[in-house]
Amino acid sequence: MSAPSVDLAPPSTPTSPPSPVRPSAEPLWTHGHGGSGPFGDRVYRVVIAACALFIPLLLVLLAVVVVRAAWPAVQAHGGDLLFGRTWDVAHGRFGALPAVAGTLLSSLLALFIATPLALGVAIFVVELAPMRLRALVSFLVDLLAAIPSVVYGLWGLFVLVPILRSSVMPGLERTLGFLPIFRGPAYGTSLLAAGLVLAIMILPYIASVSREVLAAVPRAQREAALALGATRFEVIRDAVLPYARSGLVGGVMLGLGRALGETMAVTMVIGNRHAIPSSLFDPAYTMAALLANEFGEASNNDHLSALMAVAGLLLVITLVVNMLARWLVWRVRRVGESA
């Protein structure tokens, strides 16, 4: 590589020194390291781009595979899948409405219980707790997220459900029995049990997102309110919470997404009955539990395809909830970063 391949110097001036800039695209030093310079870079770029592309591709593939497998059932049963109340495999009836209703009701119940607690924990940790307690409480609440779903189910089935059956349910019926949602035979395994277990399971997710979002509220926001004479509570109510609102909603939605798709723990405590519950004490069903119980032993193609349709519906619902949640959280973080 001693002679430049493209000589820009006019040939009529042989005295001009050779150009110090090597025109070759390949730098000399790469040979010393045994690399192949731009070629290696190209390979590297293609490989990491392929890894990155795999992620959106996976989502598309997931949707395509599930929809394709569900298609026969959608064609055969149509609206009955979504609005039918009878799930009878032997007679080819696949109405998933009880499972859809159970999924929504158990998740909403869980949100209803977990949201105030999680927001309380987040406010406690970010705004009010003594410094020493902050890390400890965060750590303990985060630990809840590390416990496997099946362990929650085990605990729910053998500890929580007996307590509900023997004391909580009779107690609720005695005191609040005038409300129809607190009536009925106390089986233990019920919508209430599922809602409680789900609430514990989604609490750490809502709490950690809320914590992040509250911490992202600029100091100036708090200081401005303090300067106007607000008390600590008024600072939180009037300056911090409104600022963080959409992110907090995002955190709650993220929890909702978790609750909707949670499978094992719910399967173990909800009672698995194909009926729309009219009381919190009634056993119910969820879409994920339906899949867990029946998918492995689906007897025929019709059944399998109907279950795929349920999976597809679950996928669509959780996808929408998660996208909305991420968008809301992302919006607050972006504003927080630019402030």
Partner 1 sequence: MSSEIALAGARAVRDAQRLRTVHARRRVGALLTVLTWCAAVLAVIPLLAILVHLLVGGASALSFDLFTKMPSPPGVAGGGMANAIVGTMILVGIASLFGVPVGVGAGLFLAERGGTRLAEVVRFVADVLSGLPSIVLGIFAWELIVRPSGHFSALAGGVALGLLIIPLVTRATEEMVKLVPTPLVESALALGFPRWRTSLVIVLRTAMPGIVTAALVAIARAAGETAPLLFTAFGNAYWSIDPTKPIAALPLQIFAYALSPYDDWRAKAWAGALVLLLLITLMSLLARSVLRARQSLMRGMAPRAEDLDD
Report the site for partner 1 in 64-103 (rule: CB under 8 A). 65-66, 69
Q: Tell me which of 19, 23, 43, 166 binds partner 1, using CB under 8 A.
A: 43
**Which of 135, 159, 176, 215 is in the footprint of partner 1 by CB under 8 A?**
159
Q: Which of 74, 89, 249, 264 binds partner 1 (CB under 8 A)?
A: 264
Can you tell me the distance from the alpha carbon of 43 to that of 46, in angstroms, rounded to the nearest whole number?
5
Our finding on whether 198 is near partner 1 (CB under 8 A) is no
120 binds partner 1 (CB under 8 A): yes
> Which residue stretches of the chain are H helix?
38-77, 79-83, 97-123, 131-146, 149-155, 161-163, 169-176, 191-215, 219-227, 232-234, 241-261, 264-269, 287-294, 301-338
Instruction: Find the binding residues for partner 1 in span 269-298 (CB under 8 A).
Output: 288, 291-292, 295-296
Phi, psi of 25 (to 5 degrees): -70, -25
Q: Which of 106, 107, 210, 263 binds partner 1 (CB under 8 A)?
A: 263
| From 9, 53, 135, 176, residue interacting with partner 1 (rule: CB under 8 A) | 53
Residues in 201-220 that interact with partner 1 by CB under 8 A: 203, 207
Q: Which of 23, 27, 78, 92 binds partner 1 (CB under 8 A)?
A: 27
Q: Report, in Å, the least distance between residue 100 CB and partner 1.
A: 14
Residue 135 binds to partner 1 (criterion: CB under 8 A): no
Contact status: 149 vs partner 1 (CB under 8 A) = yes
Span near partner 1 by CB under 8 A; candidates 35-43, 84-92, 168-176, 184-192: 35-43
For the record, the structure tokens of 122 come out as 């987040």
**In this structure, what DSSP letter does residue 167 have?**
I
- Burial per residue of 171-202, b for 16 or more beta-carbon CB atoms within 10 angstroms, e otherwise: ebbeeeeeeebbbbebbbbbbbbbbbbbbbbb
Query: Which one of the spans 9-17, 55-63, 77-85, 92-100 is the region binding partner 1 (CB under 8 A)?
Result: 55-63
Question: Alpha-carbon distance 153 to 160, whole Å?
Answer: 10
Which amino acid would we find at residue 233? F
Phi, psi of 300 (to 5 degrees): -140, 175
